[in-house]
A and B are shown apart, each in its own frame.
Chain A
Amino acid sequence: MDIYEALANKSIRNGILRSLRNLSPQVEKNLQEHPYLLEYAEELKKAKVEVLENLDFWIDKASKILQAKGVEVFYARDASEARNIAEKIVGANKIVVKAKSMVSEEIHLREHLEKMGNEVLETDLGELIVQLANDKPMHSVIPALHYSEEQVAEILKKIGVNGKNAEELAKGVRIFMRKKFLNADVGISGCNALSAETGRIFLIENEGNIRLSTTLPKRYIALVGIEKILPNDELALKSVLVQAAFFGTFPPTYINVNEKVDGQEMYAIFIDNGRKVTEFREQLLCIRCGRCQLECPVFQNLGNVWGGSAYGGPMGVVWTAITEKRSEICFLSTLCGKCREVCPMKINIPEMMRKIRRLLKKSFRG
């Protein structure tokens, strides 16, 4: 789908505006009822800035603590390295259950593992719908917001789930997925925050699929974007709480603090993929709440189609410049500054959009 097809596709716009209507007042309410979250956000930003200034130190520290706890740790410089590492851990002909993870989208891990002969299942309902429809997530937290109940019913028939409404469909998926969880060989998740103090991986969710994906399989792989490292548990917890509050669902239904346990093999793959050397370091402060996307007037019209192969919208344009070196899409921004205004980390996205333009301009002249 290109941007003009997206523009003509009313269901994208309607889905985004519906999500915005549901979530935006919730964000306001969360911050009114829990004003300390704004302090958390400030502390978090300060800590993240410091970590990013000494990224090598923190990667090293986090790796060592993970290893000391018995986790096998890898460092992937780019997407292809990350895929190869994961492929070796997973092997072939396995059942793999995946928690929704943007970094996994970024390295296109699911497609790769499928090619290697594995049955790979997205376990988040929205992400499963997108997987079955051969589509791309339309928003980083609400991937299937552009499908109607009717369309979802049609898509889910592929896995033998029948139902007329959200309730019935969810029930069907629960039954289908429960069997997969119980038989899965490998579980894969992303990482919302990693504590370098304890090597604990913090993950929030509402469905319970992350808990099942990372608890039931004997082999567990955590994909960790290197910008997710925080000095301690307290900051990691604050990070996931701020993320949930600024997305709109607070408190999150589940907080998972995953660590190495007896009886489960655990692997952590640190993913660099352009992060360490980027000129857009400020974007690494992003905690992926997705609020800038829903609030952006251009995203409201185009969804994630305005983006690269994984990330879209205001934050996504910059993330795409970091991870894919693709950048002409920055010209679609109106530089209206709404993204910076609503961002919990107050990331100056408009300024980075301009910076991308500045770099591109040099290439026009060249």
Chain B
Amino acid sequence: MIDPSLIVDLLSKNVLETGNPLGVSNEKINNWWKETKIKSRGEWLFFTGMLYQLTPYIESLVSYLEKFENSKIQSILKFARYFRFLAFPTLKLVTPKRSVEESNEILKNIYSLLDSSVEVFYIPELDTYNGILLYDYGDDESFATHAKFVVKKLKEANIKKIVTADPHTTYALKVLYPKFTDADFEVRSYLELINPKKVSKNGEFVIHDPCYYGRYLEISDLVREKLKKTGINYKDVRYSKKLTNCCGGPIEALTPKISKAVAELRAKELGNSKILTMCPICLANLRRVNVDAIDISLVLCNESGRAE
């Protein structure tokens, strides 16, 4: 296991200094909206929490960390220095452009699905990292500080209703922020708000419920209702919904090898159909074991397809 103190300290330092776990300003990674017609007013504020944007870079980081895991190098100072060196400029170089484009494509699709269903708007300056990693690693103080910063910005902009793109951001805003701050927003996952139409997608899909939608927020049935409307041919495995199994993603930074082994087990359970994911971390981690997986937003409407 990578020394947790290294990861936790770097993470909280980055988030508190730059608002982002990679220590990079949001403008550098948040580009999806530039090629989309976004509205600046409406009923529901679209809030990505930066998870889709960050994931391609985190994946590159993880593939580097994997080389150090369980090696003696990690215990010496050199590693700590190397770890800091792996900051954004380096990461950007080693991160496949394709992954970044795919993330943008997913967010564009989510926005367009929302746009045809509700009064949605987007303000890039308000969109911020959700802080969930700090919470997961038990750094409640830093998480609270960050959450207060995010909530203050949203409140100053007079935001009341928020629609999110991924399960971790949904859980953070809907469940955790009210516990750690004075947040009282109405929060929904985009999957709850959209009204998808019939689509023409071939092949059989299998659903991989993310833990946060399956167990923590319990919206798995709703997702299936929406899928039914599209006419997509999907199936469920024994371990789905409340009993879904983890993709292994949450431990990828501390132990990429075990994280991958967890993904392997999950991939085996899911079988040979194309896997539908609803979370950037699930998508990335399952793909580490070479499965055919696609974000659900890319199959929920016809216009998409470029990223398929």
Contact = CB atoms under 8 A, between A and B. Distances in A.
A–B proximity contact (CB within 8 A): yes
Interface of A: 3-4, 7, 13, 17, 297-298, 300-302, 328, 331-338, 340-342, 354-361, 364
Contacts of A333: 251
Given A334-B250, A334-B259, 7 more contacts: A17-B265, A301-B261, A328-B4, A331-B251, A331-B255, A337-B216, A361-B139
B5 A334 contact: no
Interface string B258-277: 11011001100000000000
Please name the 5 residue pairs, one residue from A and one from B, whose CB atoms are nearest each other, closest first.
A357-B138, A336-B246, A358-B138, A364-B5, A334-B250
Contact of B215 (A17, A341, A354): A341
Nearest to B246: A336
Given A298-B258, A332-B254, A336-B245, A361 B137 contact: yes
Nearest to B255: A332
B1 A331 contact: yes
B243 A334 contact: no
Contacts of A336: 211, 215, 245-246, 250
A355 B140 CA distance: 10
Contacts of A4: 70, 257
A342 B258 CA distance: 22
* SS class, residues of chain B in contact with chain A: helix
A331 B140 contact: no
B254 A298 contact: no
A359 B138 CA distance: 8
B243 A297 contact: no
A117 B253 CA distance: 48
B24 interface: no
Contacts of B19: none
A295 to B, nearest CB: 8
A242 B96 CA distance: 51
A297 B248 contact: yes
A17 B254 CA distance: 24
A302 B257 CA distance: 12
B134 to A, nearest CB: 10
Given A297-B265, A297-B266, A364 B243 contact: no
Nearest to B262: A297
B211 A337 contact: yes
Contacts of B255: 3, 331-332
B17 interface: no
B204 interface: no
B249 interface: yes
B265 A332 contact: no
A22 B243 CA distance: 17
A331 B254 CA distance: 8
B137 A332 contact: no
Contacts of A356: 138
B9 A7 contact: no
Contacts of A13: 265
A3 B1 contact: yes
A338 B138 contact: no
A354 B266 CA distance: 24
Given A3-B1, A364-B8, A298 B262 contact: yes
B8 to A, nearest CB: 6
Contacts of B221: none
5 contacts: A302-B258, A338-B244, A354-B135, A357-B137, A361-B139
Contact of A334 (B1, B8, B242, B248): B248
A166 B262 CA distance: 31
B258 A335 contact: no
A267 B100 CA distance: 67
A187 to B, nearest CB: 40
A364 B280 CA distance: 30
Interface string B136-155: 11111000000000000000
A332 B138 contact: no
A358 B140 CA distance: 7
Contacts of A340: 215
Contacts of A342: 243
Contacts of A341: 215, 242-243
Contacts of B211: 334-338
Nearest to B136: A335
Contacts of B258: 3, 7, 298, 301-302, 332
B283 to A, nearest CB: 16
A338 B254 contact: no
Contacts of B136: 335, 354
B4 A360 contact: yes
B139 A297 contact: no
Contacts of B266: 297
B53 to A, nearest CB: 22
A356 B136 CA distance: 11
